[in-house]
Amino acid sequence: MARPLLIHHAANRGHRTPPGSLQGLRTCLQAGARAVEVDITPLADGAFALLHDAQLEEATDGEGQTVLCTADQIRGLHYVWQGVVTGEVVGLLAQAVSLVSEVPHLQELQLDLKPHAPLSDAVLTRLLQVIAPVKGRVRVSCVADWAVRRLRVLDSELALGFDPLLYLDVETGEEHDAETPPFRVGAYGYRDDHPLSSRRWGTAADYLAARAEALIAQAPPGVVWYIRATLLARSLDDGYDWIAALHAQGNQVDAWTLDAGGPGHVSLARRLVEAGVDRITTNDAPRLATALGDKVVF
């Protein structure tokens, strides 16, 4: 069994730079990282910002909706990190592509595309144009299954990823965004708006198998599935193995987000490695790799 690959979440390598920033990406590349993830959000002029949030004030010194900005406006903003306005200018995807093109050792740049604006064919086509110089080392992931399916149609060779977060999740102990699905906790204790969760009609394993069957049909085959690590573990406890089911369909599985300093994260990572997980997303790959020994690569 191949050792799982650690993914540098938000171009993070130990919380030393603003998440998702160009400086964070540089730090990861200079350290020899094999795989790095950054979030991208479409802008009004066809560019893409290295930002996670729909509102600028969540992570920058700007205000308003991210998707209404142009690239020139984004270049005038700075990341806010740990409550402080930094000197790091908000980056653009085109700049990240330029950095990656100069570093052949990077195996994969994962671009997590945020659906803060309608992901039309025009937006997706523009994305393909921007990443063209390094497309062979890029994977585009998204919670919007419809966008993932359209990308497969627009470019059958592009590596893709799907996160079923909007359809199935677990309680995290944090306040749930009232505007983001799933809106309810179903009869089996999972966040799920599907009718199957409205009442108990069988075992939890039966329910999860039925939900997996429906969700697998929504995503193209041969992609990486990005699943919250605690959802994978909760499902195993309930008798359903997402990793085995997705492997049987020719997909890979990434567990997110596990850090060596997180409560119970190392033991959970070990459990998922034993279960055959292909990737683990983390904010500090070197530290988690040290904790897991020779079980992973980064």
Q: How many domains does the chain have?
A: 1
* Sign of the dihedral defined by the CA atoms of residues 224, 233, 20, 164, in that order: positive
Q: What whole-number percentage of the chain has pLDDT above 70?
A: 100
pLDDT level of residue 176 (50, 70, 90 thresholds): confident
Mean pLDDT across 208-235: 98
Q: Which residues pair with 141 in a beta bridge?
A: 112, 161
Domain span at 59 = 5-295
The pTM (predicted TM-score) of the whole model is 0.97
Of 107, 115, 121, nearest to 48 (Cα)? 115
Angle at which helices 229-237 and 265-274 cross, to 10°: 60
As beta bridge partners, residue 81 has: 84
Assign 174 a pLDDT band (cuts: 50, 70, 90). confident
Residue 14: the pLDDT is 83
Report the CATH number that the domain containing residue 197 is assigned in CATH.
Answer: 3.20.20.190
**78 and 56 in contact (C-beta within 8 Å)?**
no
* Ramachandran category for residue 44: left, alpha or beta (phi over 0 → left; psi -120 to 50 → alpha): alpha
**Interval 271-283: pLDDT, tens:** 999 999 999 999 9
pLDDT tens digit string along 223-255? 999 999 999 999 999 999 999 999 999 999 999
For residues 96 and 192, give the distance between their C-alpha atoms in angstroms, rounded to a whole number: 36
The mean pLDDT value of the chain amounts to 97
Summarize the confidence of residues 165-190 as an average pLDDT: 94
The 10s digit of each residue's pLDDT in 138-156 is 999 999 999 999 999 999 9
Measured CA to CA in angstroms, residue 114 lies from 49, 121, 258, 268, 281 at distances of 10, 15, 21, 27, 17
Q: Phi/psi at 290 (nearest 5 deg)?
A: -65, -40
97-102-106 Cα angle (round to 5): 80
Give the residue-averaged pLDDT of 253-266.
Answer: 97
- Burial category of 210 from C-beta neighbours within 10 Å (exposed 0-12, middle 13-18, buried 19 and up): middle
Cis peptide before 182 (omega within 30 of 0): yes
For strands 159-162 and 5-8, give the pairing: unpaired
Instruction: Tell me the mean pLDDT in the region 146-168.
Output: 98
Q: What is the pLDDT of residue 25?
A: 97
Q: Is 286 exposed, middle or buried (0-12, 13-18, 19+ CB in 10 A)?
A: middle
Q: How far apart are CA 261 and CA 240, in angstroms?
A: 28
